[in-house]
Structure 1
């Protein structure tokens, strides 16, 4: 089987689950019980407060899908790299630009919609820097600006770093495992070097500290992408896995690590190891199970409903927190689950009317080859 041409619908459905994890993390339904000691509700709050791991799931999936699609197809030529860059741009930027434009207009008219307060109260020069870094997807390098504009879009900076560096790892078919390990080591070394510079210049929190490096940047979280890459290498090499319970091990492993993270917060070194190093292994086990095993979970994630929710999950991710969510909360309902449903409906509508047509139009305009058709952020499935 040529896995690079294979479409795995369950991996589309899992995008929706990851996006909903992030939603619950941001809108923890047990927040009011946070300060109640030793109660079930407070423990549920702590558990939901670690559902930021949805981002880790996205990063591993990015590494997996990009490698699965491009391994053996990379050409370090100007035409190929141009096509590759245009395809990544067409997947990410149109919907992001629309959501950012709406955010900036609404915040400009109503300062009370700047709930992060990292944009509207800036002096003009800082505000210009914020807009520029948002438009160029570079804001994720700056601790003081990482939440400006669309707060959750800091992760797009990490994704973009991966997109524009991984072709140099995937070119050719020899020594890919060694190159991947060097890729991780080099990325970490660059991140530590930039953190040393950032600590001395103190410019908008540019690589402000180690916590920022390992929590928000590609250089500190490269291993998450790399482990997804290694899983794709194994499938592309037609390696056989005789064990038959990868889905179960993945689900149980993720749950156990989620509990462990309630004791070791992600800002501690133990939390960094759990979230950035061990959790991706459990996620890889889950992905392998969803690909190779016929389970009830796979059947659910392969349904038309989850396929649609997975395809629209990138738009949902962009709008689930921010001015659009605030407009719904203030003018329609303050019930979290009501605007969860409304945001899903709006995400599907925007995917059908804006995101998908924009991608197709840009793909046609740039004459992008079909081999480059796979997205790797929480947006769409791989395509046949």
Structure 2
């Protein structure tokens, strides 16, 4: 979803169809969806797999490190090599992508922890979307330390998150305060954690609904239609953002109980595994294809760039999965079982 949003200027030129695709795959909504899912899953594995003693926290931290950083190091290598070989063309295409010029910029890009309350504003970012991973890593740490350990603590967390959101709206702060700031991730993460603690109660309520409403495809269709409404209905952009937050909770709840009809568990797992690599790679691959194949040195995307970038990104992602993830996943399994 985020890939299409970032590289869909040309798709947007297709009038209604383009706007539908671009709206349906809005990265702001998909990021929120992922944060809700992460809040649920991280709380689940801390409570049920690792526990909150020092050993459990250490295993959780190591497992998260192995999931995120080996693949990222490979992407980082590709980014640095490509930036050097293309001699500034990458930066022209995507201004955030240039080589670090100081020690703290090197540390930020290696760690994916950008030292700013608004990490999206930090440059350089050798993989531009990693600003959101700063938020992800921070909330992983907080959940590991017990921020969602009990129902009571989680309810307080949700309440504080709602208060922050309402405060920014009341004060008229810009949208970045609810999307790109450190605290903007608090609400979706806390709602995902809340869903874990009250899952059985929510499922009890859903049992009284018609079965079609419990179909994952229906839930995702609601998510898409609600997002599209943000494009066409005046004033719906941020209202739709928060209604989609609730729809994301609804989708995660349903998917916690059943698989997506017609999608095998193996395919679902593989797509989930590759999505992280695609997320990290797509700007780099787009810049190379646009610059080398089409001579485009500014951010002007055409249909061929978008399509070829997708194919190339998937190919490289599969390669990373085979070469990097496969041995690392063996270590992750040992960590979980050890």
Q: Same fold (TM over 0.5)?
A: yes
Q: Does 1:299 pair with 2:265?
A: no
CA distance in 1, matches of 2:139, 2:195: 16
Q: Does 1:287 pair with 2:252?
A: yes
> Structure 1 residues 316 and 143 mapped into 2: Cα distance closer, same or farther (>3 Å)?
closer
Where does residue 346 of structure 1 map in the other structure?
Answer: 316
CA distance in 2, matches of 1:357, 1:281: 37
1:147-296 alignment runs, 5 A limit = 148-167=125-144, 168-171=146-149, 176-186=150-160, 210-235=174-199, 240=204, 241-242=206-207, 243=209, 244=211, 245-247=213-215, 250-263=219-232, 271-275=237-241, 277-292=242-257
Where does residue 380 of structure 1 map in the other structure?
Answer: none
What do you get for the CA RMSD once the two structures are aligned? 3.5
- Work out the number of aligned pairs and report it: 315
Deviation of 1:77 after TM superposition, in Å, equals 3.1
> Structure 1 residues 56 and 233 mapped into 2: Cα distance closer, same or farther (>3 Å)?
same
CA distance in 2, matches of 1:129, 1:272: 35
Q: 1:134 aligns with which of 105, 109, 113?
A: 109
- Other structure's SS at 2:112 match: coil
- Other structure's SS at 2:122 match: coil
Q: Give the TM-score of the pair, scaled to structure 2.
A: 0.78
Gaps of 5+ in 1: 1-20, 196-208, 372-384
Gaps of 5+ in 2: 295-303
Where does residue 327 of structure 1 map in the other structure?
Answer: 288
Where does residue 4 of structure 1 map in the other structure?
Answer: none
Where does residue 370 of structure 1 map in the other structure?
Answer: 337
Deviation of 1:31 after TM superposition, in Å, equals 4.4
> Structure 1 residues 280 and 32 mapped into 2: Cα distance closer, same or farther (>3 Å)?
closer
Question: Which digits, 9 at most, give the CA deviation of each residue in 1:189-239, with x for residues without a partner?
Answer: 78999x9xxxxxxxxxxxxx7533311234113221222222222346795
Deviation of 1:356 after TM superposition, in Å, equals 2.9
| Structure number having the greater helix percentage | 2
